[in-house]
Amino acid sequence: MLAVAAGLSVAQACAMSLLVFTGASQFAVVGVLGAGGAVAAALAPALLLAARNALYGLALVPVLRGRLPVRAAQAQLIIDESTAMARAQDDPELARRAFLATGLSVFVCWNVGTLAGAALGGALGDPRSLGLDAMFPAAFLALLAPQLGRPGARTAAIWGAAIALALVPVARIGVPVLAAVVGVLPATVELRRRARRAAP
C-alpha cells in the first residue's frame, strides 16, 4: 500500500516482497523514494539494513542443514523473526522446525498482505490525508523496539536519531538516514569501555 503511494507499480511492490523479503529494507526503500529521494539514495540504507541477515545466516549455519538446493531455498527465509524463533530452541532439529514454520508463515502472510495492500493502495485517494506517511515511522519504531535490548543498541539508536535529525536541513534526501550509521561508533566505544571494565 505504501509502496504504491510512493510510486511503485502493484507488480513491483509484490516483486519486492517476494525477492527482497526483508521488512526493514523494503520500508526504507519506499520511505526514501516516497520522500522524493533518488533510487541510489533509497537503495543504500536498504542494503545496510539487509546486511544483518548475513549475520543471521552465519549464526544459523548449525541449524540449516541439508543439500545445497534445500539450503539455498531456506536462506531466503532468513529474517528477524525466523532467526529469533530458531535461536530460542536448544535442540538443532527443533530450531530447524521453528525456523521453517516461522519463516514460511511470515513469507506467505507478508506477500499476501503486500498484494492486498498494493491493490488497495491504488484505489485509495491522497496518501497524506489517510495518514499513510505516518505509517513509516511507526513501522520503523515497531522494528526497532525489540532490538534495543542488545548491548549498545540504545546508544547507537540515540546517536543515529540525533545525526539524522541534525542533517535534515542541510543534506540531500537519503543522506541523513545513511549518516545515521555513524551512530554505531559511539556505541562501539561504549561496548569497548564496558568490556574493559568487566575484564579483571
Partner 1 sequence: MTWGALIGLGLAAYALKAVGPLLAGHRPVRPGAAQVLELVAPALLAGLIMVQTFGGDHRIVLDARAPALGVAALLVWRRAPFLVVVLCAAATAALLRSLG
Cell numbers linked to 152: 549498545
Between 89 and 179, name the residue whose CB sits nearer to partner 1. Answer: 179
Place of cell 542533517: 167
* 89 versus 130: smaller Cβ distance to partner 1: 130
Least distance in angstroms from the C-beta of 68 to partner 1: 7
Handedness of CA 94, 96, 99, 105 (dihedral sign): negative
52 versus 89: smaller Cβ distance to partner 1: 52
CA 79 to chain centre: 8
In 3D, which of 89, 115, 100 has the Cα closest to residue 16? 115
CB of 175 to partner 1, least distance (A): 10
Nearer to partner 1 among residue 48 and residue 89 (C-beta): 48
How far apart are alpha carbons 6 and 31 in whole angstroms? 8
Q: What are the grid coordinates assigned to 128, written together?
A: 497524506
CB of 119 to partner 1, least distance (A): 17
Q: How far is the CB of 98 from partner 1 (least distance, A)?
A: 16
